[in-house]
Amino acid sequence: MPAKRSPARRPTMKDIARRAGVSESAVSFALNGRPGVSEVTRDRVRRVAEQLGWRPSTAARQLSGEGAATVGLVVARPADTLGVDSFFLQLISGIQEVLAERHLGLLFQVVEDVDAECGVYRRWWAEHRVDGVMVVDPRTDDPRPDLLDELGLPAVVIGGVPDARHPGLSTVWADDAGAMAAVVGQLYALGHRRIVHIAGLPGLAHTERRIRTLRTEAERRGLCEVRSVTTDYSDAEGAAVTRRVLAEDAPPTALVYDNDVMALAGVTAAAELGFAVPADVSVISWEDSALCRMVKPWLSALSRDTVGFGRKAAEELTALLDGGPARTVQVPVPRLIERESTGAALDSQPRPRGSGSAG
């Protein structure tokens, strides 16, 4: 027995029908803009509905065959990893802009891992809760596309690479490979030959793509002291890896971080070891956020329109919901914005100076 404070009762179509002196069906026709009622009646019904503050009950509507008017988004990341970077809230903001227009709700859930995520999809599907979902953090060897196919749940994969095996899924993606190539190109032009890429979570599709591209680009230029190290995206691991690689005999002269948080943690760690940025080591953040302009030196970063990314994804999903075909759309390649943390490489072998002695 739910808490009740005897509030205003919600008006139903029956109320409107009574007040307008027509049948419920007429009200339905009038309100849904379908033929079968005269313009006068339609107007009258509309006015009564508005006056009563009526809104269709999504439950009832759904029960009679329409959708749930809701889309789902589940992110599978531990809580602490989630909070730090600004990506998700930005993305969600963009998604909302589009959904709000169409009066679609967003069902949001955070879970621990992909298995749990699949469980959520199953439940949502069985409970008729959502009409479609947005999938983030696509992985190599990802179980979700197959599942969504099986359930017949319309979905758009955000940040995935186009995948011919799942023609039912839309994909919205940015060309990370192209961006990585540009980064390597620019660092190379600045004279950098030893580059370390502090990557994100190993299973993620875009992580793997960046790693692969880095290797390809390095090989193409004959660089052998170029590599990637995966992390969990946290500031702690970002700092730890930074300390480790800078302590090597021939430390890298450029560091590329897969998010803003690690980049910041990295410059701080580098500074503690006596490495000046960008004099001794250049730093690039893959994510551009307010953070990058809040520290000195300002961080050079790959900038993309995350809000727009979310908007685009939501548009694709609504198109799918309207019965449109699955599509693959590409958003603009992230642009490298050079600020203060990148510069020419030193010719000589850099040696840590100052306080911190590398262990």
- Contact partner at residue 12 from its own copies, DNA, none, CB < 5 to 8 Å by partner kind: DNA
Please tell me what DSSP assigns to residue 4: -
Interacting positions 63-82 with DNA (CB under 7 A):
63-66
- Contact partner at residue 279 from its own copies, DNA, none, CB < 5 to 8 Å by partner kind: none
Residues near 321 by Cβ (< 8 Å), separated by ≥ 6?
A: 67, 71, 131, 132, 154
Residue number with CB closer to DNA (39 or 347): 39
10 counts as binding DNA under rule CB under 7 A? yes
279 counts as binding DNA under rule CB under 7 A? no
- Contact partner at residue 108 from DNA, its own copies, none, CB < 5 to 8 Å by partner kind: its own copies
Residue number with CB closer to its own copies (211 or 273): 273
- Contact partner at residue 243 from its own copies, DNA, none, CB < 5 to 8 Å by partner kind: none
Identify the sign of the CA torsion 109, 115, 116, 122: positive
At 56, which amino acid appears?
P
Compute the least distance from the CB of residue 47 to DNA, in Å: 14
What mask of x and - would describe binding to DNA in positions 283 to 302, judged by CB under 7 A?
A: --------------------
Distance, C-alpha 33 to centroid of its chain: 36
Compute the least distance from the CB of residue 265 to its own copies, in Å: 5
211 counts as binding DNA under rule CB under 7 A? no
What mask of x and - would describe binding to DNA in positions 80 to 119, judged by CB under 7 A?
A: ----------------------------------------
Helices (H), the chain: 13-20, 24-31, 39-52, 58-63, 79-84, 87-101, 114-126, 144-151, 176-189, 205-220, 235-246, 260-272, 306-321
Neighbours of 53 (CB within 10 A): 9
28 counts as binding DNA under rule CB under 7 A? yes
At 64, which amino acid appears?
S
Would you say 139 and 205 are in contact if contact means Cβ atoms under 8 Å apart? yes
54 counts as binding DNA under rule CB under 7 A? yes
Compute the least distance from the CB of residue 162 to its own copies, in Å: 19
- Contact partner at residue 195 from DNA, its own copies, none, CB < 5 to 8 Å by partner kind: none
Residues near 343 by Cβ (< 8 Å), separated by ≥ 6?
A: 190, 278, 279, 282
Query: CB under 7 A: which stretch of 55-63, 110-118, 138-146, 255-263 binds DNA?
Result: 55-63
End-to-end Cα spacing for the chain: 64
The residues pairing with 330 across neighbouring beta strands, listed in sequence order, are: 173
Residues in the chain: 359
7 counts as binding DNA under rule CB under 7 A? no
250 counts as binding DNA under rule CB under 7 A? no
50 counts as binding DNA under rule CB under 7 A? no
Name the pairing type of β-strands 70-76 and 105-111: parallel
24 counts as binding DNA under rule CB under 7 A? yes
60 counts as binding DNA under rule CB under 7 A? yes
- Ramachandran class of 121: left when φ > 0, alpha when ψ lies in -120 to 50, beta otherwise: alpha
236 counts as binding DNA under rule CB under 7 A? no
Compute the least distance from the CB of residue 191 to its own copies, in Å: 28
Residue number with CB closer to DNA (36 or 178): 36
CA dihedral 249, 255, 258, 264 (to 10 degrees): 100
Would you say 170 and 326 are in contact if contact means Cβ atoms under 8 Å apart? yes
Count residues near DNA (CB under 7 A): 30
Structural element, H or E, at residue 155? strand 155-158
Compute the least distance from the CB of residue 127 to its own copies, in Å: 5
Kindly tell me the number of DSSP H helices and DSSP E strands found in the chain.
13, 12
Residues that bind DNA (CB under 7 A): 10, 12-14, 21-26, 28-29, 31-32, 34-38, 40-41, 54, 56-57, 60-61, 63-66
